[in-house]
């Protein structure tokens, strides 16, 4: 079924104004790892878009969601080291070895992924970067003294590319109290003359007495890279965000699931339109979000006709209709804009395309304008159809039509010079936003990888999407790690943060319903991240989903080298300012308005060297707020002194 993502308005902060730069730099403690921290680069000849996306997932520091102050990394000598953030800052070190990957598993493949690791309760799953996976028993990891990890199961996974990357794992118990572990491997594979595809292999391990064995293997494929894959707390379903549907290929427990015979691609259904619209020009403009709500839903389309579109009877020669589309998404009805003209020679359909978002069909107004102009001795006629639409909900559309191919075919252009604005003479008008409008417009434009993105719930039995939610305009900002809660063990390990207007919204699966819930807001983070063009990692301390709201204390962004940006989130007692503004040309006190706004703090940390940052993690309050940064040779503990609120 189709669903809609709706923000929780109680979690949005209309009075939040900006981040103020704090002068506190924080204490930086440096330690070296003489063996070097392992990070593989993409081999030459494998620079496909899908492989680049897969390699970009890797963070060399793996954080333990059961014990957030415990971090793990692999050295160049195949050792897995445990790094513990203790209450004594001066005790920060490169950690102790807890496991060494046997040399027999050093792959001679032309390409091997980075080592990936997922922490479970008393266990760790480790993929060596090839198709070899270890299940390791760790014992109790809650103390500052860790025991060596023991191999309880190892296997060579049947993945098509012979290499895989571990993205998530979950522990469950069956009705007869048998322990199971489900995990997901992502890989990229090219078969014959076909294009490369992403493969999602879903493996299930079961414990019988003292032995572990694989009992099930499921596989799906996708033409584009799914930028978010996570179990929904248990092993019954997955949350996946992608721009293309996932295709079930294999389920060893269900022989009916198998690859379908290849069929010729069916183009998106389109209505018959004029073969070439190069003589027709579509220009559109929309009102800015800062305009009062009564006007912020307006949208205008100007269609310029050519000389061959001579309309003899304007009253009956133009047809502009917004028709409901056959597909309905939840409670939202989308509309198709049908535009046709009746010329002296024939009837011509100029446009029949689905609009980007729902509109109020009864609010559609159009006019036909024919004006004669003179340029020198030449008389020419301009013919325009001016269409006014009313959006169902206020907001900025990144484009006019839902499908980019339709926009390109029609040659649709956005008119930046004719923004719909209204007079701003209201005495108690809100203060000017602190956000740069030009940057916001850049952020609002949908990138190719975000085009038509859909958040979907994949059922573990049928391997089909049972719930879909359209995410056009909701660019992914980052994936947030969650903290394990013993009272709610079925909570998911990762949640998705996407942009909504200028904010970042965190979405968690709602097991009791059919959709995802907006559980927290990171103030102005969509705007902030748009300005960080050199960013490498985005992290926050593991989020406690048992709290409501579960807003992290801060979010941290690392550049490719040196710079760390920390954005503290406002609290109920956050710093407030009384800001005043005075109307231009009037110095009287009666023309002065004031407004109480909330601000928060931004910290900027500069590392002492210029090495590439390959790992990044954050903790908050246990024992203190800090970030850990990894380069190929060094580890940095950045102790964040919370600014006074």
| DSSP codes, 284-340 | EEEB-TTS-TTTTTEEEEEEEE-TT---S-HHHHEEEEEEEEEEEETTEEEEEEEEE
Asked whether residue 273 is domain-assigned, the answer is no
Considering the domain architecture, whether residues 97 and 181 belong to the same structural domain is answered as yes
Asked whether residue 205 is domain-assigned, the answer is yes
Asked whether residue 259 is domain-assigned, the answer is no
Considering the domain architecture, whether residues 83 and 186 belong to the same structural domain is answered as yes
Structure letter (DSSP) for residue 108: -
- Residue numbers of the domain that contains 72: 37-225
Six-digit token string for 421: 């604005």
φ/ψ of 190, rounded to 5, equals -120, 125
Please state whether beta strands 592-606 and 16-21 pair in parallel, antiparallel, or not at all (unpaired): parallel
What pLDDT is recorded for position 107? 57
CATH, residue 415: 2.60.40.790
Asked whether residue 108 is domain-assigned, the answer is yes
What pLDDT is recorded for position 581? 46
Q: In angstroms, rounded to a whole number, what is the distance separating the alpha carbons of residues 218 and 199? A: 10
CB within 8 A of 577, min separation 6: which ones?
Answer: 17, 596, 597, 599
DSSP-assigned beta bridge partners for residue 449? none
What pLDDT is recorded for position 17? 80
Considering the domain architecture, whether residues 220 and 361 belong to the same structural domain is answered as no
Considering the domain architecture, whether residues 84 and 219 belong to the same structural domain is answered as yes
Considering the domain architecture, whether residues 203 and 340 belong to the same structural domain is answered as no
Q: Report which secondary-structure segment, H or E, holds 51.
A: helix 49-56
Asked whether residue 538 is domain-assigned, the answer is no
Structure letter (DSSP) for residue 635: E
Evaluate whether 226 touches 202 at the Cβ level (below 8 Å).
no
Considering the domain architecture, whether residues 202 and 311 belong to the same structural domain is answered as no
Considering the domain architecture, whether residues 215 and 88 belong to the same structural domain is answered as yes
What pLDDT is recorded for position 4? 73
Considering the domain architecture, whether residues 57 and 195 belong to the same structural domain is answered as yes
Averages of pLDDT over runs of 10 residues in the chain (645 residues) are 80 84 88 94 80 92 96 96 92 94 70 91 94 94 89 95 94 89 95 90 92 96 94 90 93 89 44 50 78 66 80 79 75 84 83 88 84 46 83 80 79 66 38 48 50 86 90 88 86 92 91 81 91 92 91 95 93 53 46 60 93 95 90 95 52
Considering the domain architecture, whether residues 318 and 213 belong to the same structural domain is answered as no
Burial 194-208 (b: 16+ CB within 10 A, else e): eebbbbbbbbbbebe
What pLDDT is recorded for position 143? 84
What pLDDT is recorded for position 93? 94
Evaluate whether 235 touches 490 at the Cβ level (below 8 Å).
no
What pLDDT is recorded for position 230? 96
Q: In angstroms, rounded to a whole number, what is the distance separating the alpha carbons of residues 541 and 556? A: 9
Radius of gyration of the chain, Cα coordinates, nearest whole angstrom: 28
Six-digit token string for 387: 């269409």
Asked whether residue 637 is domain-assigned, the answer is no
Considering the domain architecture, whether residues 199 and 288 belong to the same structural domain is answered as no
Asked whether residue 643 is domain-assigned, the answer is no
Q: Give the end of a domain, one of 370, 386, 420.
A: 420
Q: Give the end of a domain, one of 155, 190, 225.
A: 225
Q: Report which secondary-structure segment, H or E, holds 530.
A: helix 525-530
Q: Give the end of a domain, one of 190, 205, 225.
A: 225
Considering the domain architecture, whether residues 217 and 291 belong to the same structural domain is answered as no
Six-digit token string for 361: 């069909």
DSSP 389-458: EEBSS-S--S-SBS-HHHHHHHT-EE-GGG-B------TTPPPPPSS-HHHHHHHHSPPGGGTT-EEEEE
**Diameter of the chain by CA atoms?**
97
Six-digit token string for 517: 């819930």
What pLDDT is recorded for position 310? 75
> What is the number of domains present in the chain?
2
What pLDDT is recorded for position 32? 95
What pLDDT is recorded for position 255? 92
What pLDDT is recorded for position 643? 47
Considering the domain architecture, whether residues 177 and 319 belong to the same structural domain is answered as no
Asked whether the bond before 623 is cis by omega within 30 degrees of 0, the reply is yes
Asked whether residue 574 is domain-assigned, the answer is no
Six-digit token string for 349: 């359909």
């Amino acid at each position: 079924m189709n669903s809609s993502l709706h923000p929780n308005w109680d979690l949005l902060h209309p009075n939040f104004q900006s981040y103020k730069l704090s002068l506190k730099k924080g204490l930086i403690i440096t330690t070296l790892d003489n063996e070097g921290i392992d990070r593989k680069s993409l081999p030459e000849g494998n620079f496909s878009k899908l492989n680049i996306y897969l390699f970009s997932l890797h963070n060399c520091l793996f954080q333990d969601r059961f014990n957030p102050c415990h971090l793990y990394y692999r050295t160049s000598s195949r050792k897995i080291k445990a790094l513990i953030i203790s209450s004594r800052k001066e005790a920060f070190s490169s950690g102790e070895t807890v496991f060494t990957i046997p040399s027999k598993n050093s792959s001679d493949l032309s390409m091997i992924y980075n080592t990936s690791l997922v922490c479970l309760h008393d266990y760790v799953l480790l993929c060596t970067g090839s198709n070899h996976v270890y299940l390791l028993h760790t014992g109790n990891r809650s103390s500052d003294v860790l025991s060596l990890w023991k191999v309880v199961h190892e296997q060579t996974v049947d993945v098509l590319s012979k290499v895989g990357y571990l993205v998530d794992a979950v522990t469950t118990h069956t009705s007869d109290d048998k322990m199971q572990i489900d995990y997901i491997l992502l890989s990229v594979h090219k078969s014959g003359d076909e294009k490369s595809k992403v493969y999602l292999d879903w493996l299930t391990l079961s414990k019988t007495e003292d032995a572990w064995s694989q009992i099930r293997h499921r596989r799906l494929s996708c033409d584009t890279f799914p930028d978010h894959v996570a179990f929904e707390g248990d092993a019954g379903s997955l949350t996946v965000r992608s721009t293309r549907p996932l295709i079930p290929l294999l389920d060893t427990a269900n022989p009916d699931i198998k690859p379908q015979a290849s069929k010729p691609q069916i183009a998106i259904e389109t209505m018959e339109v004029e073969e070439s619209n190069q003589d027709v020009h579509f220009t559109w403009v929309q009102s800015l979000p800062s305009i009062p709500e009564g006007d912020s839903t307006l949208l205008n389309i100007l269609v310029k006709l050519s000389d061959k579109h001579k309309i003899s009877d304007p009253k009956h020669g133009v047809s502009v209709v917004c028709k409901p589309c056959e597909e309905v998404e939840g409670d939202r009805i989308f509309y198709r804009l049908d535009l046709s003209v009746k010329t002296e020679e024939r009837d011509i359909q100029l446009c029949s395309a689905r609009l980007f978002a729902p509109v109020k069909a009864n609010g559609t107004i159009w006019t036909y304008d024919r004006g004669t102009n003179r340029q020198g001795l030449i008389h020419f006629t301009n013919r325009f159809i001016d269409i006014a639409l009313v959006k169902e909900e206020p907001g900025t559309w990144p484009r006019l039509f839902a499908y980019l191919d339709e926009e390109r075919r029609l040659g649709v252009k956005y008119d930046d010079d004719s923004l719909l604005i209204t007079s701003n003479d209201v005495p108690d008008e809100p203060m000017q936003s602190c956000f740069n409008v030009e940057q916001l417009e850049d952020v609002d434009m949908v990138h190719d990888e975000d085009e038509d993105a859909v958040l979907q719930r994949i059922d573990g039995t049928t391997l089909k999407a049972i719930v879909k939610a359209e995410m056009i305009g909701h660019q992914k900002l980052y994936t947030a790690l969650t903290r394990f809660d013993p009272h709610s063990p079925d909570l998911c390990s990762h949640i998705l943060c996407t942009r909504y207007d200028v904010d970042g919204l965190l979405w968690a699966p709602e097991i009791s319903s059919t959709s995802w819930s907006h559980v927290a807001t990171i103030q102005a983070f969509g705007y902030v991240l748009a300005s960080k063009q050199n960013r490498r990692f985005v992290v926050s301390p593991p989020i406690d989903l048992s709290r409501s709201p579960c807003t992290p204390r801060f979010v941290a962004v690392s550049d490719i080298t040196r710079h760390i940006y920390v954005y503290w989130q406002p609290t109920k007692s956050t710093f407030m300012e009384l800001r005043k503004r005075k109307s231009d040309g009037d110095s009287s006190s009666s023309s002065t308005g004031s407004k109480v706004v909330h601000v928060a703090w931004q910290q900027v940390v500069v590392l002492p060297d210029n090495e590439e940052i390959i790992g990044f993690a954050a903790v908050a309050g246990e024992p203190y707020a800090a970030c850990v940064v990894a380069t190929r040779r060094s580890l940095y503990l950045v102790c964040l002194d919370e600014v006074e609120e």
